[in-house]
Amino acid sequence: MVNWVPPEWEDREMLAELGIGSVEDLFRDIPKKARMGRIGLKPSMEEPALVDLVRGILSKNKPVSGFDSFLGGGVYTRYTPAVVDGLLQRSEYYTSYTPYQPEASQGTLQAMFEFQSLWVELSNLEVANASLYDGATALAEGVLMALRLHPGKRVLVPGSLNWERRSVIENYSHGAGVELVDIPWDPTTGLLDIDFIAREARKDVAAVVVEIPDSFGLLDVRLPSLKSTLGEVPLVVYADPLSLSLLEPPGSWGADIVAGEGQGFGLPLSYGGPHLGLLAARLSAVRQLPGRLVGVTQDANGRRAFTLTLGTREQHIRRSRATSNVCTNHSLMALAFLAYATAMGPRGLRRLAEAQHAAVGSLVTALQGTRHLQVPRFKTPYLFDVAIGVEGATVDQFLSAMLERKIFAGVPLDDPRPVASHPRPNAFLATAGPEIDAKAIARYASAARAFGGA
């Protein structure tokens, strides 16, 4: 094989056409500290050598299947029925784009409509859109919706809110001049200060955000009575969809907007994505929903037909009237969510939720009394994740030691950003599910007891 290198005159002509002096100038807007640099590739290589090199780089990835994984915190490794991938791999779905031509896209449109209907049923609200990017952006869009529905420049958010979700809300609301106000949480119970919410809710507050379960994995039984203290202030709830197979849905206790992350329904970890954003609201707010919405009607022959009914994004209407610059929906991921829920059925989802809660309880029992660990960290009921405190060492030290024993022990609760100003407990979240057997829990407990601390 002959290596081909572009002649220097071609480089000169391209640079001259672009009006720059060197290839380096193409990257001058990117700070040098943010650039990766070369990854071991020579300027030119023969294809077999290049393939071998890339394979060597990829071999450094360690699939989660080779570890005992207790990772949770909103992203889960759950068994997915084979029918889900079988449906997703049909070409009419994984090659589909925006269904602008309903006559050619009835299958995709119906799947999106049924997905919306499923999230409406789980949240007990009245209307849902055709999905968003992920849970964090869905929550941020819910906050922006609330700002359009109710006057105010302050939004109350849990001080315990997952740092990634908070960061996205900060980014989305910054341009609107919104102040995020932390709701204090009790260091013993982990629960929010409800009295603080009641005092602050009438002071130019546009929305109040709560979670079920919260970012510490806890269940706050006081939330269903919260709406009565807020009056007209919108209540935005971030909810785990699987939890809604067990718990009273937020819409039934006054939530105005319900957001969530759909990854746990049929989507793998996939290096952190793609995920699936869920968003539902009351019918009175339907024209404030971001993205797009699929509706059902009748064709000229009286047959049931589906079409895009509302699209409040910039591609569909004037920018001045758009509710968001959301440019797409995750229809393939939404189909996975729908297929997973359909395959499991209401009883199957409930049994899965009960099994995961029971497995987490078994993990807690196995770890209690372990030196250096406070299990559980908070004196409040948990659901799918348990917060575990670390004493005499850092969370990173403990998790690294467990990783050496091929155990993903949990997800740190701390905020790793250099500008982090929201205190977090020295703790991590761990989960377990039906795929985690008693032997894996025993290995976890044994490794935790062998941890020597700092």
Looking at the domain assignment, is residue 26 inside a domain? Answer: no
In a domain, 291, yes or no: yes
Report the phi/psi class of residue 270: left, alpha or beta, with left for phi > 0 and alpha for psi in -120 to 50. left
Domain end residue (candidates: 320, 340, 360): 340
75-98: burial string, b at 16+ Cβ within 10 Å, e else? bbbbebeeebeebbeeeebeebeb
Q: Does residue 1 surpass a pLDDT of 70?
A: no
pLDDT digits (tens, 9 = 90+) for 192-238: 999 999 999 888 999 999 999 999 999 999 999 999 999 999 999 99
DSSP-based three-state secondary structure for 4:
coil
Structural domains of the chain, count: 2
Answer yes or no: do 325 and 379 share one domain: no
Q: Is 441 helix (H, G, I), strand (E, B) or coil?
A: helix
pTM above 0.85, yes or no: yes
- CA–CA distance, 200 with 198 (Å, rounded to integer): 6
d(CA 113, CA 107): 10
Question: Tens of pLDDT along 245-274?
Answer: 999 999 999 999 999 999 999 999 888 889
For 398-428, write each residue's pLDDT tens digit.
999 999 999 999 999 998 887 766 778 899 9
- Does residue 369 share a domain with residue 326? no
**Residue 212, amino acid:** I
Q: Give the domain-ending residue among 281, 312, 340.
A: 340
How are beta strands 127-128 and 411-412 bridged, if at all? Answer: unpaired
Q: Is residue 72 classed exposed, middle or buried when 0-12, 13-18 and 19+ CB atoms within 10 A define those classes?
A: buried
Instruction: Examine residue 420 and state whether it is found in any structural domain, yes or no.
Output: yes
Residue 206 class from Cβ within 10 Å (0-12 exposed, 13-18 middle, 19+ buried)?
A: buried
211 shares its domain with 227: yes
User: At residue 243, does pLDDT exceed 90?
Assistant: yes
- Do 139 and 244 belong together in one domain? yes
What sign does the CA torsion over 391, 429, 193, 361 have?
Answer: negative
Listed in order, strand segments (DSSP E) in 262-402 are 277-281, 292-298, 304-311, 373-374, 386-390
Q: Are residues 220 and 159 in the same domain?
A: yes
The pLDDT confidence band at residue 2, using thresholds 50, 70 and 90, is very low
Joined together, the tokens standing for residue 148 give: 């359009």
193 and 126 in a common domain: yes
Q: Distance between CA atoms of 392 and 219, rounded to whole angstroms?
A: 28
Amino acid at 281: A
Give the separation between CA 262 and CA 116, rounded to whole angstroms.
Answer: 12
Residue 346 sits at φ, ψ, to 5 deg, of: -55, -45
**336, 418: one domain:** no
91 by DSSP, 3-state: which? helix
Rounded alpha-carbon distances, angstroms, from residue 58 to 106, 198, 274, 400: 40, 53, 20, 22
Which stretch of DSSP H or E encloses residue 343? helix 331-367
Q: For residue 375, which phi and psi values (nearest 5 degrees)?
A: -125, 115
